[in-house]
Structure 1
Amino acid sequence: MRRIPPLKAKRAIRGGSASALWLRLGSIVALALCGLLLAAPASQAQNAGGLGGFLQNLFNFGARPAPPPAASNASLRERAHKAVRKRQDFVPSTATRAPGTPGGAPVVKPTFFISVLGDSLAILAAQGLSDAFADKPEVAVTDLARDVSGLARNDYYDWPKAARDLIAAKTNIDVAVIMMGINDVQPLKDGDETLDLLSDKWRAAYGQRIDALLAPFRDAHIRVLWVGLPPMRDDRLNVQATALNEIYRDHAGKDGATYIDIWDAFADANGQFAAFGPDVEGQNAKLRNGAGGIYFTKTGARKLAQVLEPDIRRDLEKSKPQDNFAALPPDVEKEASAVNEEIRRELGAGSERPGAAAPAPKPLAGPVVSLTARPTSPGGALVNATDAGAIRTLAQQVYAAPAGSAPSPPAGRADDFAWPPAR
Structure 2
Amino acid sequence: MLLGRRHLLLAGAACGLGRPAAADTAPVPERLNLLFLGDSLAQGLFLSLSPVLRRRPTPRIINGTLHATGVTRTDEHDWTAVTRDLAAAHQPQLAVFWIGANDFRPLVVREERTRHRFGTPGYAEHYARRVTEMVTHATDAGARAVWLGLPNMREAQFAGAVRQLNAIQQAAAEAAGAIWVDTWEATSDAEGRFLPAVPLPATTRVFRAEDGVHFTGWGYLRIGALLFDAAAEHFPDLAPGLGRLTEA
TM-score range, shorter chain: 0.7 to 0.9
Relative to 1, partners in 2 of residues 1:142 and 1:269: Cα closer, same or farther, differing over 3 Å?
same
**Kept after mapping to 1: 8 A contact 2:54/2:61:** no
The number of residue pairs the alignment matches comes to: 210
Task: From 95, 99, 103, give the equivalent of 1:180.
Answer: 99
The answer for the alignment partner of 2:216 in structure 1 is: 297
Higher relative contact order (CA 8 A, sep 6+): 2
**Kept after mapping to 2: 8 A contact 1:132/1:305:** no
Task: From 129, 136, 140, give the equivalent of 1:208.
Answer: 129
Relative to 1, partners in 2 of residues 1:150 and 1:193: Cα closer, same or farther, differing over 3 Å?
same
Displacement after TM superposition at 1:132 (Å) = 5.0
Displacement after TM superposition at 1:144 (Å) = 1.3
Q: What are the Cα deviations for residues 32-68 of structure 1, in whole angstroms up to 9, with x where unaligned? A: xxxxxxxxxxxxxxxxxxxxxxxxxxxxxxxxxxxxx
Q: What are the Cα deviations for residues 171-219 of structure 1, in whole angstroms up to 9, with x where unaligned? A: 1311110000010011112222221111111100111111111111222
Q: Distance in 2 between matches of 1:220 and 1:172?
A: 6
Displacement after TM superposition at 1:316 (Å) = 7.4
Which aligned pairs between 1:310-321 and structure 2 lie closer than 5 A? Answer: 310-313=229-232, 318-319=237-238
**Kept after mapping to 1: 8 A contact 2:150/2:183:** yes
Task: From 28, 38, 54, give the equivalent of 1:118.
Answer: 38
**Kept after mapping to 2: 8 A contact 1:131/1:302:** no
The answer for the alignment partner of 1:164 in structure 2 is: 84
Q: Identify which range, 127-136 or 111-120, moves more after superposition.
A: 127-136
Q: Distance in 1 between matches of 2:192 and 2:82?
A: 35
Q: Distance in 2 between matches of 1:182 and 1:254?
A: 22
Q: Distance in 2 between matches of 1:317 and 1:202?
A: 36
Q: Distance in 2 between matches of 1:203 and 1:138?
A: 39
The answer for the alignment partner of 1:199 in structure 2 is: 120
The answer for the alignment partner of 1:269 in structure 2 is: 190
Relative to 1, partners in 2 of residues 1:160 and 1:308: Cα closer, same or farther, differing over 3 Å?
same
The answer for the alignment partner of 1:239 in structure 2 is: 160
Which residue identity lines up with residue 227 of structure 1 in the other structure?
L
Displacement after TM superposition at 1:275 (Å) = 0.9
Q: What are the Cα deviations for residues 311-347 of structure 1, in whole angstroms up to 9, with x where unaligned? A: 33457751599xxxxxxxxxxxxxxxxxxxxxxxxxx
**Kept after mapping to 2: 8 A contact 1:150/1:180:** yes
Q: Distance in 2 between matches of 1:243 and 1:288?
A: 21
Flag structure 1 segments of 5+ consecutive residues without an equivalent: 1-108, 322-423
* Secondary structure at 1:212 match in 2: helix
Task: From 235, 245, 258, give the equivalent of 2:179.
Answer: 258
* Secondary structure at 2:118 match in 1: coil
The answer for the alignment partner of 2:138 in structure 1 is: 217
Displacement after TM superposition at 1:162 (Å) = 0.8
* Secondary structure at 2:65 match in 1: coil
* Secondary structure at 1:186 match in 2: coil
Task: From 132, 145, 150, give the equivalent of 2:70.
Answer: 150
Query: Percentage identity across aligned positions?
Result: 28
* Secondary structure at 2:165 match in 1: helix
Q: What are the Cα deviations for residues 85-108 of structure 1, in whole angstroms up to 9, with x where unaligned? A: xxxxxxxxxxxxxxxxxxxxxxxx
**Kept after mapping to 2: 8 A contact 1:128/1:303:** no
* Secondary structure at 2:150 match in 1: coil
* Secondary structure at 2:166 match in 1: helix
Relative to 1, partners in 2 of residues 1:271 and 1:112: Cα closer, same or farther, differing over 3 Å?
same
Relative to 1, partners in 2 of residues 1:168 and 1:306: Cα closer, same or farther, differing over 3 Å?
closer
User: Structure 2-normalised TM-score?
Assistant: 0.77
**Kept after mapping to 2: 8 A contact 1:132/1:306:** no
* Secondary structure at 1:295 match in 2: coil
Q: Distance in 2 between matches of 1:218 and 1:290?
A: 36
Q: Which has the larger radius of gyration?
A: 1
Q: Distance in 2 between matches of 1:319 and 1:194?
A: 41
Judging by fraction of residues, say which structure has more strand. Answer: 2
Q: Distance in 2 between matches of 1:239 and 1:183?
A: 14
Q: Identify which range, 133-142 or 173-182, moves more after superposition.
A: 133-142
**Kept after mapping to 2: 8 A contact 1:129/1:141:** no
Displacement after TM superposition at 1:133 (Å) = 3.6
User: Structure 1-normalised TM-score?
Assistant: 0.47
Task: From 94, 104, 108, give the equivalent of 1:189.
Answer: 108
Displacement after TM superposition at 1:165 (Å) = 1.3
Flag structure 2 segments of 5+ consecutive residues without an equivalent: 1-28, 241-248
**Kept after mapping to 1: 8 A contact 2:231/2:238:** no
Which residue identity lines up with residue 133 of structure 2 in the other structure?
A
**Kept after mapping to 1: 8 A contact 2:91/2:141:** no
Relative to 1, partners in 2 of residues 1:167 and 1:114: Cα closer, same or farther, differing over 3 Å?
closer
Which residue identity lines up with residue 215 of structure 1 in the other structure?
T
